Every structure is written in C-alpha cells, then in structure tokens.
Amino acid sequence: MKTIGIGAAAFTFMLIGTLAGSASAVDSTLVKDAATADYCHMKFPAIRSRTLPTRDPQVKGNATGDVIDYYGDCNESPTSRDQVIEQKHDESFSFGRNYEDGD
C-alpha cells in the first residue's frame, strides 16, 4: 500500500475545505462584499411570491437557488421595501413575457 505524504494529505484536506466553504457561501442567507463604505455587492434569496403582497415578506429557502444579485447601498436587506417593489416588478414582467400573446 502506498502512503501519502503529509503535504499531499494537507493539500487534500485544504481542497475539500475550500470546496465545502464555496458550497456553503452559495447557500448562505446573505453574502456581503463591501466595495466601499456605502456600496456593496450582496447575494440573498428571493422573496416568496405569495408573500410579496403581505406586510411580512418571507425569503425562499436556500435550496431553491433563486438568488438576488444586488449591487448598491450596504444597508439593503432581502425583505426591504425596495426589494419587494423590484421583485414585484420582475414577477409581473416575467408573467407578461411568459403568458401574454406577443402578436
């Protein structure tokens, strides 16, 4: 049986840890990279369609993969008023594009 050197074993564990960390970062509720004090790049789950018109919008589960890729004010939250308005607009645009006759 061939033995693995300590360096090769350490590299393998580091690689596995990096891949696991990347997978969990994609599934996290909020990823935030601050470019400046006032401007950020964030990724967060989209709001559930059925909760968009309510006073308490809820985000989708991480497993759905429906992610908002946001660039702007660092104080933005996944369920802020701006996100609700934007996602309502996106939903109506998508519905129109998918179901209305394009004659």
Q: Of 101, 42, 27, 50, whose CA–CA distance to 74 is shortest?
A: 42
In this predicted structure, what is the pLDDT of residue 26?
A: 36
Query: Where are the chain's structural domains?
Result: 29-99
Give the model's confidence band at 83: pLDDT under 50 very low, under 70 low, under 90 confident, else very high.
very high
Q: How do residues 54-80 score in pLDDT, each as one tens digit?
A: 999 999 998 898 999 999 998 888 999
Site of tokens 């660092």? 74
Give the model's confidence band at 94: pLDDT under 50 very low, under 70 low, under 90 confident, else very high.
confident
Site of tokens 């590299």? 11
Give the model's confidence band at 81: pLDDT under 50 very low, under 70 low, under 90 confident, else very high.
very high
Q: How do residues 15-59 score in pLDDT, each as one tens digit?
A: 444 433 333 333 334 688 888 888 999 999 999 999 999 999 999
Can you spell out the DSSP letters for 41-87?
Answer: EEEEEPBPGGGTTSSS--BPPGGG--EEEEEEETT--TTSHHHHHHH
Q: Which residues pair with 72 in a beta bridge?
A: 40
Long-range contacts of 91-97 (CB under 8 A, 24+ apart): 91/49, 91/52
In this predicted structure, what is the pLDDT of residue 46?
A: 93
